[in-house]
Amino acid sequence: MKPTVHDIARSAGVSLATVDRVLNGRPGVRRVTRQKVEGAIVALGYVRDVAAANLAKGRTYGFTFILPGNDNSFMIGLADEVRTAMARSIPERTHIRIVDVPPFDPAALVAALEAVLEAPPSGVAFVAIDSPEVRAMTARLAAAGIPTVTLVSDIPDSGRDHYAGIDNIAAGRTAASLMGRFLGRRPATVAVLAGSMLVRDHRERLEGFSTVIREAFPEIVILPVLEGRDDPALAEMLIAEALRQNPQIGGMYSLGAGNRGLIRALATIERGERPLVIAHELTTSTRTALAGGLIDAVLNQDAGHEVRSAIRVLKAKADGLPVLAAQERIRIDIFLKDNLP
């Protein structure tokens, strides 16, 4: 039979309370006693029953999700997924709070993170902005012992515990590879629409994309990046303007959000004249555009996976447990019109 705390207590000749103290690294145990208990633990091959422990503790996890209030389907969908997770809060023993911040605003994000310190939750997840202030604030959270997970966009070297999102360099490289191969070695001009170079995910996608185009598809010319702030209206304007200035655009890589605007602009182009388009994030609008031939490929990250993964990781960190790396890797989904789910 699986050994329990009782077995350890008996084998070490101590009480349950003492076993518990050793198990949880609490103070107030003489070194010799501690060693006896630790000996019994390894001798018996004890593994703690986390469910029973949580039951006894009446443990609940308070998590704060800080999300940018963008007006785009991806961020709206992300927030929806967090709310879906909130609906499961009773069986999962979580208590989740959503904090809204203005998008692409480092100061606002820093303020939101700082506010978290007032009443420290069991963990914090946030969409990172890559700035020194945010980095420093994240380090303060880490110093305060609050587990942190970056969501969608990472900020390395900040002391954050985990990143729940895709490898954006690989995503950009993949987009370039598809673009180059779909264009079939013909010289072409390609436009790139981003949200903001302030966020790392967009910068990395651009970097991956540019690298592969340069190395493997030198016949392709990339126009200067358009920054649409993931705002559909602004994106539409920028794309329309770019098409006016460069009617010969043969390909388009939309590496941020705000694709509703892009799609509206594409719809004005004659069928047959349309550029090859690769976009990110499968939403109602990109799905329709993919099915209808306005978009040729969509790279996607599953917001539901990211949220569930963030919660699992925050729980594990809060309990000092290891995370199952293979399970938590968020993959880049590639959708063509033929494998739409």
Partner DNA sequence: CTGAAAGCGCTTACAG
Contact residues for its own copies (CB under 8 A)?
A: 2, 47, 49-52, 54-55, 90-91, 167, 170-171, 173-174, 176-178, 181-182, 184-185, 208, 212, 302, 304, 308, 326-327, 329, 331-334, 336-341
Candidates 13-21, 116-124, 177-185, 295-303: pick the segment binding DNA (CB under 7 A).
13-21
In this structure, what token pair is assigned to residue 335? 């959708």
What is the C-alpha to C-alpha distance for residues 316 and 61, in angstroms, rounded to an integer?
Answer: 11
CB of 27 to its own copies, least distance (A): 27
Least Å distance between CB 70 and DNA?
A: 39
Contact 197, 226 (CB under 8 A): no
In the numeric block, which tokens belong to residue 255? 């590496």
- In degrees, to the nearest 5, what angle opens at C-alpha 82 toward C-alphas 80 and 85? 110
Q: Residue 166 corresponds to which tokens in the numbers above? A: 């895709």
Angstrom distance (rounded) from CA 339 to CA 297: 10
Between 272 and 322, CB nearer to DNA:
322
Q: Which does 87 bind (CB under 5 to 8 A by kind): DNA, its own copies, none?
A: none
CB 258 within 8 A of CB 231: yes
Burial (CB count within 10 angstroms: exposed 0-12, middle 13-18, buried 19+), residue 33: middle
Please, what is the minimum distance in Å from the beta carbon of residue 18 to its own copies? Answer: 23
How far is the C-alpha of 21 from the C-alpha of 37, rounded, in Å? 10
Minimum Å gap between C-beta 47 and its own copies is: 5
To DNA, the closest distance from the beta carbon of 86 in angstroms equals 20
- Under the criterion CB under 7 A, does residue 234 sit at the interface with DNA? no
Q: Which one of its own copies, DNA, none is in contact with 214 (Cβ closer than 5 to 8 A by kind)?
A: none
Q: How far is the CB of 53 from DNA (least distance, A)?
A: 3
CB of 11 to DNA, least distance (A): 12
What's the CA gap between 139 and 321, in Å, rounded? 21
Are 150 and 65 in contact by the 8 Å Cβ rule? The answer is no
Q: Is 91 among the residues that bind DNA (CB under 7 A)?
A: no
Q: 49-78: which residues touch DNA (CB under 7 A)?
A: 49, 52-53, 55-58
- Residue 111 binding partner per list its own copies, DNA, none, with a CB distance cut-off of 5 to 8 Å that depends on partner kind: none
Q: Which does 108 bind (CB under 5 to 8 A by kind): its own copies, DNA, none?
A: none
The span from the CA of 263 to the CA of 108, in Å, is 30
Contacted by 248, from DNA, its own copies, none: CB < 5 to 8 Å by type: none
**What are the structure tokens assigned to 70, written together?**
């963008």
For position 316 contacting DNA by CB under 7 A, the verdict is no
Based on the shown chain and the rule CB under 7 A, indicate whether residue 18 belongs to the binding site for DNA: yes
Residues near DNA (CB under 7 A): 1-2, 4-6, 13-21, 23-24, 27-30, 32-34, 46, 48-49, 52-53, 55-58
